[in-house]
Structure 1
Amino acid sequence: MTAAPAVQTFPRHVRLLTGADYQRVFEDAGRQRGRHLTLLYRPAEGAEARLGLAVGKRHVRRACDRNRIKRIVREAFRQCRTDLPALDLIVLARGSAVTADRHALRAEIDRLLERLQ
């Protein structure tokens, strides 16, 4: 089995890791709203786009549903991160994301990310 090319991975340096990273985006963010997801963004301090996820229990009760949403968003980001400008991104899930199927969620996150390019 061969390793995935470095461009197709989701390494640590393209993630928002600390509370300060998240706070910086929340304080002064642009916003793209979809039906099930909201995308907050702000110019990054580094050279690459970075992703953070905020899928709370308040909106998505079951852990398996939260994890499903996060997997779908991470995969979409992973596949298009080289095409994105240097932005820090946070994806927020709304309650309606629970009932949406994975194709609808994937189409929505793709559409939101495409607007940033």
Structure 2
Amino acid sequence: MSAQTYGKTLRLLSPGDFKQVFDKATFRAPHQHFMLLACSNGLEHPRLGLVISKKNVRHAVNRNRIKRQVREYFRLHQQELPAIDCIFLARRGLDQVDSPTLVKQLQAQFKRLSKKALRDNP
């Protein structure tokens, strides 16, 4: 698998995948504008799922921008992450955050999440 792709193997696709993370979320990285939930997946690579509702981010343009940014950050930094299933949950006010600030916040929260996951599952 190429290190710079974001194929189907790196995504949470089925409702069962999302339910497993929501039910067994052992790692959390909360932030004012979003939250990352994660659990070990038993695979050799991390996977990502996105939950960005209309209620929290009103306009489709902003939802799509946020999705693009989160997917791109994950794609570029997936080799640094442990084998976890991770869900990105948007909160209200995320659409007010500009792109460079969002990337910095993602970097900090994914780093926290990685430390927690590596500490609990070496």
Query: Common fold, TM-score beyond 0.5?
Result: yes
Where does structure 1 differ by over 2 angstroms across 4 or more consecutive aligned residues? none
Gaps of 5+ in 2: 115-122
2:43, 2:83 within 8 Å by CA — same for their partners in 1? yes
SS in 2 for 1:48: coil
Is 1:35 the equivalent of 2:51?
no
CA distance in 2, matches of 1:96, 1:41: 22
Partner residue, 1:51: 48
CA distance in 2, matches of 1:116, 1:93: 16
CA distance in 1, matches of 2:15, 2:83: 19
CA distance in 1, matches of 2:44, 2:3: 14
Is 1:25 the equivalent of 2:34?
no
- Number of residue equivalences: 113
Gaps of 5+ in 1: none
CA distance in 2, matches of 1:86, 1:6: 16
Write the letter of the residue equivalent to 1:39. Answer: L
1:116 CA displacement: 2.6
| Superposition RMSD in Å | 1.2
SS in 1 for 2:19: helix
Partner residue, 2:93: 96
Q: TM-score normalized by structure 1? A: 0.92
1:31 CA displacement: 1.3
CA distance in 2, matches of 1:96, 1:13: 31
Write the letter of the residue equivalent to 1:64. Answer: V
CA distance in 2, matches of 1:19, 1:82: 25
CA distance in 2, matches of 1:71, 1:40: 19
